Chains A and B, each alone.
Chain A
């Protein structure tokens, strides 16, 4: 019930600033469209694309960008540098879940805007999407989206908590943003990567945050591929849960509650 209340209050707060939420969505919208424009121009020169539809890929990234690109790490300044974390530590409440349910309304609204945009493009501009829908594929895609959300959320929480040691995490945020954009297949789809980089990417947690959730909505996949991705997602999630617990336990001892 308390989590529901946190979710609802944040929902109210998000809706309080209509302009802000719309401007944020424009970023989720324009970024994939720019990449799409670029790839549509160079695509005829890439012979090994196969059934992969670059158009569908980047249009789905509009939804994925809105829903899965979590920005909880931007609270590090307010929460840790300025001591806002104190208000959470004094309550019988988990900081992790508070952040989780605070971020969720943002993601749902941004993702919803993404869905509206795609539907509008299909309905009014005749844009076609190469989607693969049946009960099994939707169920598995849904699982990969939820697990992807958790992976991204944990990763961003690591950056947030790193402020307990580094205080200013501005540079780290930018660096990890670039890494995420590359290894999530946002700038270049992972199937276009050179083999060595593809191997590195597939052993990292990043493709499992956005790339595979997007991919699984697109094409027909073998069950073994689905299972492999789900295993990787669950494996990384277990590692992230353990790492978060360790970071929290160690980091909170260094917290000075300055500014409060």
Chain B
């Protein structure tokens, strides 16, 4: 077991200011604090080489969990071990084997080329000359950034900086990689590049990767296993198929109509989600899909029928809104 989390909790004291000038005066004299439970009693284990997606809405506790796992935050209670170490002790031998990449912030030095930061990381992580050259060459080729190495970081685009960030984070070949929104703000082409790169790194290095992303597509394409949290609580831990089955007992039937038909008629088959002639979309219970599709095909007004799984985004949205039909 590379990562083991048991009953992890992280609470913050948050100052509650009442609105307006009077509120400011009151809070100047006496302040009220409330306790925010950012992470509540979360437990999970991750094996070596696993690539796990960590999904949750804003404020769900994803980043807080990653910060606890990487040693940035001290847990309020519970135990966390990563590679057999207690992260918060931040032992050098532990830090040399992990990396945390946060999409919106970077470790690169703003005023100098990224290659200088790489050289600094070489010294900090005590990477041998041979290993450094080899790793840098692989990473530069994979991310196609050879021409950008000697350009001041402040002059790079967001996507280029993100690539450099990944290189800086991976030069020491971490065994455990925490990725917090690595594709945030990137265009679709760059998102795909980064996704492909993460997958390749995971497979080639047999590295354990824990990835959070607002883009469900990132997680769906990369991770077989997903952990879903909301309001600090673990809602689901398993593979994508199980997630779909558990939280969406419906399938979607897209119908192409030959002739316009009353919505009432379509409602006989299931819940009509879209009614926009010549297209209609009907949500039907998984158990009824076969019979409903057959019945639809027998109707004279139906030209074509297509059975689909609901979009993962929709399922996740339903999970977070508690619509677990």
Contacts and interface: CB of A to CB of B under 8 A. Distances in A.
A18 interface: no
A161 to B, nearest CB: 16
Interface string A81-113: 001101101111100000000000000000000
Contacts of A17: 111
A13 B120 CA distance: 14
A90 B120 contact: no
Contacts of B65: none
Contacts of B102: 86, 260
Contact of A90 (B95, B112, B126): B95
Contact of B112 (A13, A83, A256): A13
Interface in A1-53: 1-2, 5-6, 9, 12-13, 16-17
Contacts of A5: 119-120, 123
B140 to A, nearest CB: 20
A255 interface: yes
Contacts of A1: 123
A256 B125 contact: no
Contacts of A91: 95, 107, 121, 124-125
B73 A2 contact: no
Interface string B282-313: 00000000000000000000000000000000
B28 to A, nearest CB: 14
Contacts of B73: 255-257
B121 to A, nearest CB: 8
B71 A89 contact: yes
Contacts of B112: 9, 12-13, 16
Given A5-B120, A260-B102, A89 B72 contact: yes
A84 B112 CA distance: 18
Given A256-B12, A257-B72, A86 B120 contact: no
A87 B92 contact: no
Interface string B69-92: 011111000000000000000101
Contacts of B98: 90
Nearest to A2: B123
Q: Determine the interface band of chain A, counting residues with CB < 8 A from chain B.
A: 20 to 34
A89 B107 CA distance: 11
B99 to A, nearest CB: 7
A13 B152 CA distance: 11
B67 A257 contact: yes
B109 interface: yes
B220 interface: no
A259 to B, nearest CB: 8
A89 B92 CA distance: 10
B147 interface: no
B136 to A, nearest CB: 16
A65 B12 CA distance: 41
Q: Most chain-B CB neighbours within 10 Å: which of A17, A92, A256?
A: A92
Contacts of A87: 105-107
B100 interface: yes
B217 interface: no
A86 B67 CA distance: 9
Contacts of B106: 87
Nearest to A89: B72
Given A16-B112, A86-B67, A90-B71, 4 more contacts: A1-B123, A91-B107, A257-B73, A260-B105
Interface of B: 12, 67, 70-74, 90, 92-93, 95-96, 98-100, 102, 105-107, 109, 111-112, 116, 119-121, 123-126
